[in-house]
Amino acid sequence: MGNIESLPVRSDLAGLKPYGAPHLDVPVQLNVNENAYPLPGVVVDSMRAAVNDHFAGLNRYPDREFTALREHFVTYLNGVNERAGDTVALDPSMIWAANGSNEVLSHIVQAFGGPGRTVLGFTPSYSMHPLITTGTGAQWQHVDRKDDFTLDAETVAAEVAAANPDIVFLCTPNNPTGTSIGLDVIEAAYENCSGIVIVDEAYAEFSRPAKSSAMTLLEGRPRLVVSRTMSKAFACAGLRLGYAIAAPELIDTLRLVRLPYHLSEITQVLACTALEHADVLLGNVDRLIDSRNRMSTHLAAAGFTVHDSDSNFVLFGNISSPADLWQKLLDRGVLVRDIGIAGHARVNAGTEEETDAFLTAIDDILAESPDILAERPTSTPPSSSAPTKGTP
């Protein structure tokens, strides 16, 4: 790579590191919170047929208002809320979509952030939040979470009131910790500032029992916006489709900053087809939750500190050197994430076979290098020959 410092880069970007996780060709990839299961054949066949009908029209620009996609999202989300017992009536004017939730968040921060404005987050949280903020020229401020990575309404209310930011980021379930927040925390943030409150719900479908979405708070709160994605539970990370739900006036504002025709015809068609098969695509969510719970139980029994998770990943601590553990797992063909939290690492739920491989590798490492644990457990770790099975 060239020397970026030799270019007239903006001073607020100098020295920053771009977002990125290692993409390595190893048998078990559990580092970027993807859905481990490939698309079912019936969905692939439907997508192929749907795209075939649109090839001849690619000489024309796509529908820049993604009308059909909006209607599909409303059908899906109203069903989600109805099954949860929440009375939320969404309509297409409340839906926004873009190339992954990162672009959705970027649009929001472009519209309501920028030079001279401040954005507040509660860390550790999703590392793209400050990068998106800085990219618009806004100032990033952060408040540390509690030692157990939770947030409560009283703390959030006080911190938001003190900072009075133009934008607040709340992430639930939170990446990389997996912890959820209550609706009272979101209400506290909203009531104590005059800015936009973004609730990032990228992993919402993995909460068991299902928690009420911040969508239930939208009525009467025009500064609240909920962000979601099809990359995780829908197993469509390669599709790049994220979406937001907010009051129509907030959605209208995002049109001012989006690039023309930002969602391709093919993206819209594939996303609509995926939503038509939502029940099939979400059928593996419970299997991933089982894997997540197996990992949590096994890691805790082995002496690691495991944090409760409502997502498709597990944050675990009591690691003497996360970098060493990362390398030892990689040497065994397993890729996890060293997310920069002292003494911690993150692993996302995999298939049953991938979960077995990860747990076996953990046991082999502990047998070979027991000092990988910062503090030794008082009980014996589970045998590598028989990984824990089933949901605890």
Q: Which CATH number do you get for residue 222? A: 3.40.640.10
253 shares its domain with 315: no
CA atoms within 13 A on the CB side of 243: 29
The two structure tokens encoding residue 250: 């907030």
pLDDT above 60: residue 60: yes
Q: How many folded domains does the chain comprise?
A: 2
| 380-381-385 Cα angle (round to 5) | 120
Is 48 part of any domain? no
- Tell me, rounded to whole angstroms, the distance of Cα 147 from its chain centroid: 21
pTM for the model: 0.93
| Amino acid letter, residue 201 | E
The pLDDT of residue 378 is 66
34 shares its domain with 84: no
DSSP run (H or E) holding 191: helix 183-191
The pLDDT of residue 256 is 97
β-sheet bridge partners, residue 314: 347
236 shares its domain with 353: no
CATH (domain of 294)? 3.90.1150.10
**For residues 78-106, average pLDDT:** 90
Is 385 part of any domain? no
89 shares its domain with 16: no
C-alpha distances in Å from residue 170, one per residue of 58, 107, 181, 189, 254: 39, 17, 9, 9, 19
Is 209 part of any domain? yes
Look up residue 239 and give its DSSP letter.
G
Give per-residue pLDDT as tens, 240-264. 999 999 999 999 999 999 999 999 9
Domain boundary among 276, 291, 322: 276
Task: Quickly state the pLDDT bin for 82 (edges 50, 70, 90).
Answer: confident
Is 384 part of any domain? no
12 shares its domain with 141: no
221 shares its domain with 99: yes
- Per mean pLDDT, which range of 1-10, 118-127, 150-159 is the poorest? 1-10
Tell me the average pLDDT of the chain: 93
253 shares its domain with 222: yes
The pLDDT of residue 17 is 79
CB 374 within 8 A of CB 319: yes
CA atoms within 13 A on the CB side of 305: 16
232 shares its domain with 344: no
Stronger pLDDT, 378 or 365, i.e. the higher one: 365
Domain boundary among 226, 243, 276: 276
Domain boundary among 276, 307, 335: 276
Give per-residue pLDDT as tens, 275-331. 999 999 999 999 999 999 999 999 999 999 999 999 999 999 999 999 999 999 999
175 shares its domain with 262: yes
299 shares its domain with 214: no
The two structure tokens encoding residue 122: 């509660």
| Amino acid letter, residue 75 | T
Say which residues have a Cβ less than 8 Å from residue 257's Cβ, sequence separation at least 6: 107, 110, 111
As a whole number of angstroms, the distance between CA 342 and CA 327 comes to 16
Stronger pLDDT, 56 or 86, i.e. the higher one: 56
The pLDDT of residue 13 is 81
68 shares its domain with 27: no
**For residues 359-366, average pLDDT:** 98
Q: Could you list the residue range(s) of the whole structural domain that residue 9 is in?
A: 4-38+283-372
170 shares its domain with 33: no
Is 141 part of any domain? yes
pLDDT above 60: residue 387: no
